[in-house]
Structure 1
Amino acid sequence: MRVLVTGHEGYLGSVLVPRLVAAGHEVVGLDVGLFADCLIGPAPVEVPAIRTDLRDVTADQLRDARIEAVVHLAAICNDPIGNLNPDLTYEVNHRSTLRLARAAKEAGATRFLFSSSCSLYGKGEDDAPLDETAGFNPVTPYGESKYLSEQGLLELADDDFSPTFLRNATAYGFSPRLRGDLVVNDLVGHALHTGQVRLQSDGTAWRPLVHADDIAAAFEALLSVDRTRIHAKAYNIGRTSENYLIRDVANLVRDLVGGTVTFAEGAGTDLRNYRVTCDLVAAEVPEFAPQWTVAKGIEQLVEAYRRHGLALEDLMGARHQRLKHINALTAAGRLDGELRWVAA
């Protein structure tokens, strides 16, 4: 198919686009390039791109690009950035998602794969794994924006337009546009360079984890199946076996990389505390077969960090920390307070 991938120059997009191209899809990107230069190693495959802010995309642009399906990754991507300006988070992640979907529907696209998040479950009521029928209890603007987007997209579903919601677990793993602000990526970097597996919380929260490659594989698989199988459905993306207490992730990093588990000053309890079951996607979309475990991902990260000579100051600097990158662009006068580029 001819597929629009929004956020194609981000952490997940940089893994997904080469995979879709290799599978034979015609890929068109949509990105304003906030993180285009945040590379480690060679840039991934380049594709034609619509250089328009997500908030401004039109049906005519998508019609001209002959888009048949949309994979919507673009978002204000984590809780610290989202908390900076909650209304901007809702504008970009929720209201602009619905604008994009309406434009895609008007332009004749028949399917819309939305990169949702297990963070919409927020604070689980108990330790039982949550399936896709569980209630929503988001504790951040990011998580709530994903919930609101799903509800709005459901209202657009009909015989000609099929939204599907991929509720990704917390991502980790190597990408050509690496994020150092993801828990596994961060813990591995600190263990390698300081000998400390440094937790930012007390480590008692549950979290499902999924490798970026497996998220990309899920999108590819869902694009390949008949859309009636996945019409207006939500799927937790990952493996049921890959739910971890954060302290157990730290211990796994310690065992595989070395070092001592330590806690940042003021480390407290993380309100985001949930386990999920991924049995539904395994049953209904067997074309998606996750390949990664956290242990295997830790080994990948160690090899990649060493191969690219990644220093701790690189991992923790503006290139690989999304909030620091946004702040640096803003301080340099290149971005305004609404995260729009300032004309030269």
Structure 2
Amino acid sequence: MATDRGQPGKTKRVLVTGHQGYVGSVTVPVLAAAGIRVTGCDINLFDRADFAPGGAVPDVPNIGKDIRDLTPADLEGFDGVIHLAALSNDPLGKLRPGLTQQINHEGTIHVAKCARAAGVPRFVFASSCSNYGKAGDGMIDETGALNPQTDYGRSKVLAERDLKPLADQDFCPVFLRFATAYGVSPRMRFDIVLNNLIAHAYTSGKILMMSDGTPWRPIIHVEDMARAFLAALEADADAIRGEAFNVCRTENNYQIRELAQIVAETVPNSEIDYAADAGPDNRSYRVSSAKIEKAIPGFRPEWDAIRGARQLYEAVKAAKLTVDDFEGRKYKRLAQLEALVAENRLDENFRRVGAVPA
């Protein structure tokens, strides 16, 4: 192994799991622009979610394996792994609770152990601020209590717990606790909060609120997430080894009703509307970004909700988005997975039946 592998600025070859997804398809071009040779690992479950205003899904070499089937041999020669592949939201956890733990928790540890055995020096894990769960109105940092309210959040907490003991001088895992994602991507999602509010506003004129609007959420643009991965690859290992970092801007904590108001001011002729069963949501957290700003001084998110809402509005308008598009399987991960199981293209353990699509 070269002596400079894993040191700041020396990352040359990186594996990105989940590289064809919402975040991965934005991350790969950012890494490539920095001179990194990227290989992906994805079984392409969401090929229906192509979104032309977001650009093309990057065409890079793909191992094409389920992450549960990776071996150390698959990971030999890489300088870093960015681990994104996961069941990616709370409703998926309700669909198959055991699978959320199997893929998001046990699958993460499996990939990390393969990377460590293969001599990969850096492992960047996409964790989540949902780890904090029911934190209330006070500002919370990485020392705050972890109180996840969903199977998704619990899987991320357990993955962090079991990754930390793997850290040593030759293996540097780091946990990026991302705020709630938003923004335009080549593989779009409309089942996350700001994206969903914009889609509702554009297609129906209604900004549909599923809660009373009081919960706090930090948010982060998908492009800033990509830049955070790059920063974590290039940071001094001693500053990040075995550490968790909230990835957001402290000032980008919003109550859901504030996001709804931003959408109302962005999408013409739209108005806020509360669902009949809208009520309090106990998932509420405001997070501080002070730790990552100190550990990785060159990284700071660039986007805010106002700019992001404008980008989203222009994109859905260009795509001529319809209700059927964003409410159906095309852009909702749960609906797509349920359909793939019904079509016998996924088995009950969410393993591909047949060849992985190109």
Q: Could you tell me the TM-score, scaled by structure 2's length?
A: 0.93
AA aligned opposite 1:295: I
Give the superposition deviation at 1:261.
0.7
CA contact (8 A) 1:191 1:253 kept: yes
Does 1:155 pair with 2:165? yes
Question: Which of 59, 64, 73 is matched with 1:51 structurally?
Answer: 64
AA aligned opposite 1:260: E
Give the superposition deviation at 1:242.
0.5
The number of equivalent residue pairs is: 341
Which residue of structure 1 aligns with residue 312 of structure 2? Answer: 301
Aligned partners of 1:136 and 1:120: how far apart in 2?
A: 5
Which residue of structure 2 aligns with residue 111 of structure 1? Answer: 122
Structure 1: runs of 5+ lacking an equivalent: none
Question: Which of 185, 191, 201 is matched with 1:175 structurally?
Answer: 185
Aligned partners of 2:280 and 2:101: how far apart in 1?
A: 26
Aligned partners of 1:202 and 1:138: how far apart in 2?
A: 20
Which residue of structure 2 aligns with residue 242 of structure 1? Answer: 252
Give the superposition deviation at 1:40.
0.9
Q: Helix, strand or coil for the counterpart of 1:50?
A: coil
Question: How do 1:131-280 residues align onto structure 2 when only pairs under 5 Å count?
Answer: 131-258=141-268, 259-280=270-291
Q: After superposition, give the CA deviation of every residue in 1:297-325 in whole Å (9 maximum; x if it has no partner).
A: 00000111112222222122211011111
Q: Helix, strand or coil for the counterpart of 1:127?
A: strand
Aligned partners of 1:150 and 1:90: how far apart in 2?
A: 13
Aligned partners of 2:106 and 2:203: how far apart in 1?
A: 41
Which sits farther off after the overlay, 202-211 or 109-118?
A: 202-211
CA contact (8 A) 1:18 1:44 kept: no
Give the superposition deviation at 1:289.
2.1
Indicate how the Cα distance of structure 1 residues 36 and 67 shifts in structure 2: closer, same or farther if over 3 A, else same: farther
Question: How do 1:278-297 residues align onto structure 2 when only pairs under 5 Å count?
Answer: 278-297=289-308
CA contact (8 A) 2:207 2:264 kept: yes
Q: Helix, strand or coil for the counterpart of 1:203?
A: coil
Q: After superposition, give the CA deviation of every residue in 1:246-273 in whole Å (9 maximum; x if it has no partner).
A: 1111111112214111112312222211
Q: After superposition, give the CA deviation of every residue in 1:64-105 in whole Å (9 maximum; x if it has no partner).
A: xx2120000010000000111111100000011001100000
Give the superposition deviation at 1:240.
0.2
Structure 2: runs of 5+ lacking an equivalent: 1-11
Aligned partners of 2:267 and 2:298: how far apart in 1?
A: 33
Aligned partners of 2:321 and 2:258: how far apart in 1?
A: 25
Instruction: Tell me which of the two structures has the higher relative contact order, counting C-alpha pairs closer than 8 angstroms and 6 or more residues apart.
Output: 2
